[in-house]
Each structure stands twice: as structure tokens, then as C-alpha cells.
Amino acid sequence: MLIRYSDARRRCAHSAYRLPALRWSGESGSLRLAAGHQIEWLSRVSTNSDLAKVWAKEGMDVEAYQEQMTANRMFCQLSLRHRLGLVSDRQLSFYARVLMENEACKRYWAQFGRLREEEAEGDKTGAKFTKAMSLAAHAA
């Protein structure tokens, strides 16, 4: 079954996977909510092969795409926790090393690490995160 983007968006709005209504306020609340939606989508696309078929690059193996999205989800979750101050710089280095022990994470970072670094330009917290990931990737 093929799912179009518009259908997928409609399903997300009425999905059992929808995030519970939470009372978050301020900038960190908005960040948590936006990141929660991103992480939810990454979870869905990494486990639903029909949805992954829609989003995978043309000619890309769906399982490989799902593996990349699983790794991306792990990086996004850690990045959010770091940005919110729930992970210290010392812990970030530790978690980066742990992630890079995973082959899927190493492959993801090898392919998208440069893009993530460019994306973090001008963002001190993002740059700190990508530097920790890159150092761990090179050490692995």
C-alpha cells in the first residue's frame, strides 16, 4: 500500500501515535513539542515500511532508509536532551561514544555528519553537539 504525503499528514493528525496533550510553556515547551513531532515521525518511518517507501530516495533500499531514520532518531533524541540541559557536556561525550559503537549510527554519521555540521553553523549548542559526534565517530 502506497501512502501519499498528504495522506500521511492526515493520518498523523488522527493517529494513535499522536503525542498526548501536554502543558508546556515558553520556548523550551515549543522546542519539546516540535522535537517530539519530529521524533514521532522518525519512529513511524523507521518502523512502517509502507511509509518508508514514500520517503526513501528513488532506488534506495527501504530497509537501509529505515536504518538511517532509526539512527537519525537516536541522534535527535540525544540532541534534544542536550539542548534542554538534561545532558551535560561530559555525558554528551560518553553518549556520543556509545552511539558510535552502533554500526547504523556510524554509517549515518559518515553520510550525514557534514550536513549536520553545516546545519549547526551559528548555533553554539548545535555546534557543540555535532563536534562531540564527529570526535566520537573519528575515534570509533
Summarize pLDDT for 46-103 with one digit per residue, the tens.
888 998 998 888 999 999 999 999 999 999 999 989 998 999 999 999 999 999 999 9
* Rg of the Cα atoms in the chain: 16
The pTM of this model reads 0.72
How far, in Å, CA of 136 to CA of 75, rounded?
13
In the chain, the N- to C-terminal Cα span, in Å, equals 39
The set of cell numbers assigned to 93 is: 561525550
Give me the amino acid identity at 6: S
* Mean pLDDT (the chain, rounded): 80
* 2 or 36, greater pLDDT: 36
Largest CA distance in the chain: 45
Name the residue type at position 97. R
Q: How far is the C-alpha of 120 from the C-alpha of 104, rounded, in Å?
A: 22
- In the block, which residue shows the cell 532518531? 73
CA 137: distance to chain centroid?
17
